[in-house]
Structure 1
Amino acid sequence: MSQAKTSRAASSQNFKLAFRLALREMRGGLSGFYIFLACIVLGTAAIAGVNSVSRSITEAIAAEGQAILAGDIRFEIDNRPATGDDLAFVEGLGDVAQSVNLRSMARLEDGSDQSLVEVKAVDDLYPLYGSLVTEPALDFDARHGLIEGVYGAVVAPVLLERMGLSIGDRLTLGSATFEVRASLINEPDLLSEGFAFAPRFLVSVDALEAAGLLQLGSLVEYVYKVRLPEPATYDQLQAIRDEARADYTDAGWAVRTSANAAPQLTENIERFSQFLTLVGLTALVVGGVGVANAVRAFMDSKRGVIATLKCVGASSRFVVMVYLVQIGIVATIGVLIGVVIGAIVPFVAAVFLADLLPIGSGVSVHPGALLLAAVFGLLTALAFAILPLGRAQDVPATALFRSQGFDGAGWPAKRYLAATAVTMVALAALAILTSFDRFIAIIFLAAIAFSFVVLRSVAVLIQWAAKRSPRVNSAALRLAIGNIHRPGALTPSVVLSLGLGLALLVTLALIDGNLRRELAGNLPERAPNFFFVDIQSSEIDQFREIVATAAPEGDIDAVPMLRGRIVGINGEVPNPEDYAEGRWVLRGDRGITYAPTLPAGTALTEGEWWAEDYDGPPLVSFSAEEAGELGLGIGDSITVNVLGREVTAEIANLREIQWESLSINFIMVFSPNTFAGAPHAWLATLTDPSLDAAQEGQILREVTNALPTVTSVRVKDAIDVVDRLVEQLAVAIRAAAAVALIASILVLSGALAAGNRARTHDAVVLKTLGATRSTLIRAFSYEYLILGLATAIFALFAGGVAAWYIVARIMTLPSSFLPDVAISTLVIAIVVTVGIGLAGTWRVLGQKAAPILRNL
């Protein structure tokens, strides 16, 4: 026991001595550690900032849940109002505000112009929480009441601008006329209502009924928001939700509480946050390579000090401990700077997101997010610093008298390899455990690890090719080729430094470019001109006649459409949260149809289609992709609630659907006898590539004026909305790619700095033998040019494959290689490599020969 105490005391004394020596050596500043510091700061700040913004948004949504939901509990039923016991249950909970949501066409009184609008009809209790802000400020009766036979409406400012309206002007909606009495400034529950394609048109429930838009089969959401008599805890809200789902299974409603006011928004934010966090982690890992290079260069510059310590009796472990303390101190400084930057990011983001998300007054510092980023930063620094530190033990004392380093020392002792492996595993485990989707995190980390292996192989291949290249006449080019494959060459460091960052940049750029190309060109060319929704069965013949007259060359596709919610799978109630993918199919109502024959644009992948005159038990055809995500197959049964009636059907076949065509497609297509006699509306498309904007406008006016309850959606307008959304997402993606590229540049700088000593020796020897400065500059330029070009070619290939897989396989969209991305990547790689290389080499060329030659 006394021996153990003696050993611990000695270890403690050694650490104190190492700590003092480390501090003394750092009195001269952080020279040699600036790139190390920059890499840690950049990666830590990226992770801390992304997670802090994400938590600010999610916490704000949770804190403002009542206002965002405009109630404590929200019940939604599609296509029919609540009745009987269902309505009694809701009304028994507390104050109930009813609203009705649908899309329709608002028209000028003379029929000269029209616009798709998101109609929301409310009662006088709306909103139960939060504030409805209008300009001018009016009470319910003044906003929506019937005055001189005309109801009032509050509309979004964009609709006033689009249709050239002012307060007091009139619009027609359905069969009723509305007076615009105010402009909508703030709608408290906008975030909880989901994504909107059109401007808001706010009216009263009575006015909506007068407009004649509430017809059987119309796509309508009936929403009931409840304000409980007493404040409720999270558990109490969940208990009410569970009771509504369990005891009122026939209601077919979706129930949401203020504790989860905007689930889709929250989930999307978490997913996007995970993506940016993983990109930040990539930047940190790329920066880790810079850490390794910086530590190697720093240790190389300290070879004399290391040899001196060994000459006076210091052990290898003590030497490693001294420099491990220094690296730990510098890493801590870098992490602290990154954490401070990350803590500031939410306050900056709040300024730009104030109009979009509720993170204004609720923004704060998030210790959990900052701690996570700090742990990532410290683990990365440790993981990549151990190996070059371990090589310090192999520096012999004779290096005090010779400029001998430890570049060729090989692998360090096994304990350093084991410590590196342990920290790498800890880093990966932390990334996986803290991810929203762990499977994606595993794939992402595996891809990074695979990329490192591939990049190392690429470097070996480049060196192999350089070693076996034919002899050239140019002395500068021969020197460049020799530098690429000689021992201690920069090739592995440069390829690894730039390769991962450029590959990520190419991947993101190609994904962004393909999406824009699809939205701007390919998709509009393939897509229909119009979608027409809520065509009543009594109007379908008139609709066909109007459209056929206005567009005689057009292709009209019309199918019956109902709305149904999946309430059972193989006799059990499904929980969407139990499914990693495909959960969206189980959330809310889905459009469904019936057909005697296989719909156009689809192909059977399994099973057989029913006979046209089939009259047996209900059958359903299911989308193959979504069926796989839900674990469904031929012979399984699904139960769908349609218009309050539950229908159970057996899956007869699976279909492959080309969603990107934007033609009429449904997840579920039933046998015709399933809904024989059921009331329903029709969904139709018009496809005519020859129509110009004026002709499309004329068709829109004729359909809207003749059939005011039909909702017409111009596909180009919808694509423009999505394009704007993609543009907003692209800003964040480009910023993330820029972070990774900056990390790559820092790493490249570190790699070149690490090789400066060898470059100095080479330059001095060559100048002594007669080489001129211009020859050496050309040689180094050729070397950097070849390495940059080779790395860019790899990045183009790797990024192209990754982008193709994501676009073609995951997004199921056409993917193509974009030449402008290729050219820009080549230019970036060459400029960065040659520029940084020459900037670092210029100082080397100015070194005097005598001090260097004396130590050779």
Structure 2
Amino acid sequence: MHGFVGAPASHPAPRLPLVPRLALRELRGGLRGFGVFLACIALGVAAIAGVSSVSRSLTEGLAVEGRRILGGDLAFSLVQREASLEERAFLDGAGRVSAIATLRAMAIADTGESALVEVKAVDGAYPMIGAVESEPAASVQELLAERDGTYGALVDPVLLDRLGLAVGDVVSLGNARVALRARLVSEPDKIAAGVGFGPRLLMSQEGLAASGLVQPGSLVRWTYRVALPGASGGERALERLEAEARQRLPDAGWQIRSRNNASPQFARNIERFTQFLTLVGLTALMVGGVGVANAVNAFVERKLHSIATLKSLGAPGGQVVAVYLTQVMIIAAVGIAIGLAVGAAMPFAVAHAAKSLLPLPLTPGLAPLELAVAALYGFLTALAFALGPLGRAHDVPVSALFRDEVDPAAKGPRLRYRLASLAAVAALVAVAVVFAYDRRVALIFIAAAAGAFLLLRLVALGLMALARRLPRPRRTAPRLALANIHRPGALTPSLVLSLGLGVTLLVALAMIDANIRGQLTRALPAQAPSFFFLDIQNGEADRFEAFLAREAPQGTVERVPMMRGRVVSLKGIRASDYKAPEEAAWVLEGDRGLTYAAKPPEGSTVVAGEWWPADYAGEPLVSFDRELAQELDLTIGDRLVVNVLGRNIEARIANLRTVEWRTLGINFVMVFSPNTFAGAPHTHLATLTANGVGKRVDEGAVMRALAKEFPMVTSVRVRDALDAVNDVVSQLAIAVRAASSVALAASLLVLGGALAAGHQTRLHDAVVLKTLGATRARLISAFSLEYGALGSATALFGFIAGTISAYVIVTRVMRLSFTFEPGSALAAALLAIVVTIGLGLAGTWRILGQKPAPYLRNL
């Protein structure tokens, strides 16, 4: 017998290939020394994965909740006029219809105090989708109904606080008395309605009619929401109805939105902010890449004996590099997994935290594609920054490896490792560009990041070269500090890179924030009007101007006719099909303010073409803002069509002019010749500006007198508008600072890692110097001088680079004037110096407390 019949043959257990097997065995010792590596990778991946996942949740929320946000399946908006009988019949034939009217008006309390409100007048069908929440709770129609000759309203609690009122009080709105019957807690279509300058006041259309606010030419937007029958509410039905509306009523001039783009501006802002935050996360990863390189360098130094042993046993250089690269990528995978877990959980955390901020349409869920892209960013970053340090071990002989502690090999990695590292960087750039919302911005960011890395490397080399050439001081501490800056294995390159990026970011943010606040709180109010007055009826314009001259003799009044219109086409191309750059696309979206004038408006200068004569009576002409005309590729002689009050008007561009927008004076993108709108009903827009800098208009007295004399006129106090904008800017600034703190945290991690990487070298130095008689105070003095010199030089570079970056962003991107505001930026730079010295000495103090004997025995 040759064994048991039927017994299964024994097979050796499958074994991993040699490289991963050796890599896993080496990892049994733990992840010592890779704390900064893991933190940097996890932080960057978590930022990118979290931002992308939250963005996806918001985008999907918009799609899922689009019908509720829009208030129907389709919305048709008209400005300054209601739908005609023909248009309303068309909409009624498509499905259930609900109409709302929105406008700005003045709510006047019995005390004489008044406040700007955003009026939203609804019909009996509102809301068709979703529900309005109020305190006390009741049906909308019951709260808005007429009782004893007074109509009701729901109000934002802000209005009650602003006017010192309570639920049940009455305010005047135009010619009507309106009872404030409940607080408005939430409205389902709030996002689609947009955010205004005043608190919301929800009332009935019957109440609006009683107020008399709607006059020919009044700035009222009428929106008709259509809910399609259940059986015909598919995507094809939406497309078919929209196409039919454009075909049957081509001159209606309405803006059409569907539930698929219920809030296009909100969606666009989500994408823009997502790109910004993703770039911030990518910055954190790139800064963290320096930490990766430092950690891998330290790892290679710790493994010199293992590498020497492998090579002495016949392992080829490529195999040695493969073993340790495998280890590094396994560790990177752990960091990426941590980052992905945090990023994947972020939408759920935001959804839980944002319950009180609803109606944010956040639908939390896993975003596989976004998580995969974040993981790819992490792997490519780890690979790009690890290949260089690891590649050095390939060609160094065994004897040199053993000798490296006292005589580091100067030879760099082979060409193949350099090319592989460049390929990983190229792949990282490609991924960043391919998945960017705006690829131009992504390319600019990448170029700026590459430039920053290169400049900081040059700064580090320059500091080392300068330290090498400076005369040696006689005193021990300065001489030791100078030598530490340029010696082999010095901390200078990694410290300058990590600290320089952090300071540049801090200074840039501080400068941008200071400039924006300066524009809003100092520069503009000194030269801006005190008031804007809207909805001045044509027949009362002269009386209104005389009233202001009497009530505010210290002010100057400027008045122009105004109407609203929508650009239908440019150069024969429909506005919806016109290829407009991002900076100018807003001109073609929605309706714009239009005016006519016999001479160029104040604050405008004709720079191309000729202005029309005062008695011009030919074809309609238009003057266009030069900067926007260049963005839209328009020149003199081109034709455009605008829709005003349901009528399409074609005009030829007669001239281009520059406009000084920052004064907040009255000006328009398009100014037409007076004959263009002959006979069209319109209102007037006026401003009241103090005569000369330092003089002020008594705003309270003007508002009280205006409320009595002209209750139909809407006044917007510029200071209140600036405060509203300032609040938004402050919230954005907080969000930007919070996001940028991720990159700053990575910088601090890398800085700490760089200092920790030099721990062993500093330990040997301290032991030898203490043996030779150096005191702790002298060594602390030397290290303080070293860290102080490096921190000061790097902070100076960061201050200059951050200032230049802020200047470019403020002047080129934000199109504002730049003012040098060094206060907060200098504080940021000084903080960087303190942090550098503090972190450096914190590690050094522990080193100096070590006993020399154990280390001397092992030297």
TM interval, short-chain normalised: over 0.9
- Aligned-pair CA distance for 1:471: 4.0
Which position in structure 2 is the counterpart of 1:230?
Answer: 230
Question: Partners of 1:401 and 1:151 in 2: how far apart?
Answer: 92
**Matched residue of 1:651: which SS?**
strand
Contact 2:252 2:647 in 1 (8 A): no
Alignment partner of 1:736 out of 739, 759, 774: 739
Matches within 5 A, 1:158-557: 158-230=158-230, 232-358=233-359, 362-399=363-400, 401-404=402-405, 408-557=409-558
Question: Partners of 1:120 and 1:691 in 2: how far apart?
Answer: 37
Matches within 5 A, 1:42-191: 42-108=43-109, 110=110, 112-191=112-191
Identity percentage of aligned residues = 53
**Matched residue of 1:655: which SS?**
strand
Letter aligned with residue 327 of structure 2: Q
Contact 1:43 1:284 in 2 (8 A): yes
Which position in structure 2 is the counterpart of 1:10?
Answer: none
Q: Which moved more, 1:463-472 or 1:670-679?
A: 463-472
Alignment partner of 1:725 out of 690, 712, 728: 728
**Matched residue of 2:501: which SS?**
helix
| Distance verdict in 2 for CA 1:201–1:512, change over 3 Å | same
| Distance verdict in 2 for CA 1:188–1:406, change over 3 Å | farther
Alignment partner of 2:615 out of 605, 613, 616: 613
Question: Partners of 1:559 and 1:492 in 2: how far apart?
Answer: 62
Which position in structure 2 is the counterpart of 1:636?
Answer: 638
Question: Partners of 1:576 and 1:465 in 2: how far apart?
Answer: 59
- Aligned-pair CA distance for 1:279: 0.6
* Structure 1 gaps, min length 5: 1-12
Question: Partners of 1:164 and 1:282 in 2: how far apart?
Answer: 48
Letter aligned with residue 70 of structure 2: L
Alignment partner of 1:697 out of 696, 700, 703: 700
| Distance verdict in 2 for CA 1:547–1:429, change over 3 Å | same
**Matched residue of 2:394: which SS?**
helix
Letter aligned with residue 664 of structure 2: L
**Matched residue of 1:686: which SS?**
strand
Q: Is residue 826 of structure 2 the alignment partner of residue 823 of structure 1? A: yes
Which position in structure 2 is the counterpart of 1:589?
Answer: 591
Which position in structure 1 is the counterpart of 2:7?
Answer: none
Contact 1:350 1:360 in 2 (8 A): no
Letter aligned with residue 589 of structure 1: D
| Distance verdict in 2 for CA 1:178–1:107, change over 3 Å | same
Matches within 5 A, 1:654-803: 654-688=656-690, 695-803=698-806
Which position in structure 2 is the counterpart of 1:566?
Answer: 567
Question: Partners of 1:249 and 1:384 in 2: how far apart?
Answer: 59
Which position in structure 2 is the counterpart of 1:578?
Answer: 579
Per-residue Cα deviation, 1:314-358 (whole angstroms, up to 9, x for no partner): 111111111111111111110111111112222222244333344
Contact 2:798 2:829 in 1 (8 A): no
Aligned residue pairs total 842
Contact 2:510 2:825 in 1 (8 A): no
**Matched residue of 2:539: which SS?**
coil
Per-residue Cα deviation, 1:560-619 (whole angstroms, up to 9, x for no partner): 111111101112212267323211110111001111222111223333323333333222
Contact 2:464 2:492 in 1 (8 A): yes
- Aligned-pair CA distance for 1:781: 1.1
Which position in structure 2 is the counterpart of 1:4?
Answer: none
Contact 2:526 2:694 in 1 (8 A): no
| Distance verdict in 2 for CA 1:605–1:63, change over 3 Å | same
Q: Which moved more, 1:328-337 or 1:627-636?
A: 627-636
**Matched residue of 1:533: which SS?**
strand
Contact 1:117 1:201 in 2 (8 A): yes
- Aligned-pair CA distance for 1:692: 6.0
| Distance verdict in 2 for CA 1:802–1:633, change over 3 Å | same
- Aligned-pair CA distance for 1:389: 1.0
Which position in structure 2 is the counterpart of 1:8?
Answer: none
Per-residue Cα deviation, 1:217-248 (whole angstroms, up to 9, x for no partner): 11110100001012523343233223333443
| Distance verdict in 2 for CA 1:83–1:359, change over 3 Å | closer
Per-residue Cα deviation, 1:16-74 (whole angstroms, up to 9, x for no partner): 22222222222221101111001001101111111111112121121111111111111
Contact 1:471 1:478 in 2 (8 A): yes
| Distance verdict in 2 for CA 1:778–1:243, change over 3 Å | farther
Letter aligned with residue 786 of structure 2: E
| Distance verdict in 2 for CA 1:599–1:767, change over 3 Å | same
Contact 1:97 1:226 in 2 (8 A): yes
Q: Which moved more, 1:138-147 or 1:739-748?
A: 138-147
- Aligned-pair CA distance for 1:141: 4.1
Which position in structure 2 is the counterpart of 1:3?
Answer: none
| Distance verdict in 2 for CA 1:577–1:852, change over 3 Å | farther
Contact 1:103 1:118 in 2 (8 A): yes
Question: Partners of 2:840 and 2:98 in 1: how far apart?
Answer: 68
Contact 1:15 1:321 in 2 (8 A): no
Question: Partners of 2:473 and 2:610 in 1: how far apart?
Answer: 68
Question: Partners of 2:663 and 2:15 in 1: how far apart?
Answer: 71
**Matched residue of 2:728: which SS?**
helix
Letter aligned with residue 543 of structure 1: F
- Aligned-pair CA distance for 1:518: 2.1
* Structure 2 gaps, min length 5: 1-13
- TM value normalised by structure 1: 0.95
Question: Partners of 1:386 and 1:792 in 2: how far apart?
Answer: 30
Question: Partners of 1:472 and 1:543 in 2: how far apart?
Answer: 80
- Aligned-pair CA distance for 1:704: 2.2
Contact 1:576 1:586 in 2 (8 A): no
Per-residue Cα deviation, 1:721-775 (whole angstroms, up to 9, x for no partner): 1111112111211112211111111111222233334333433444444433322
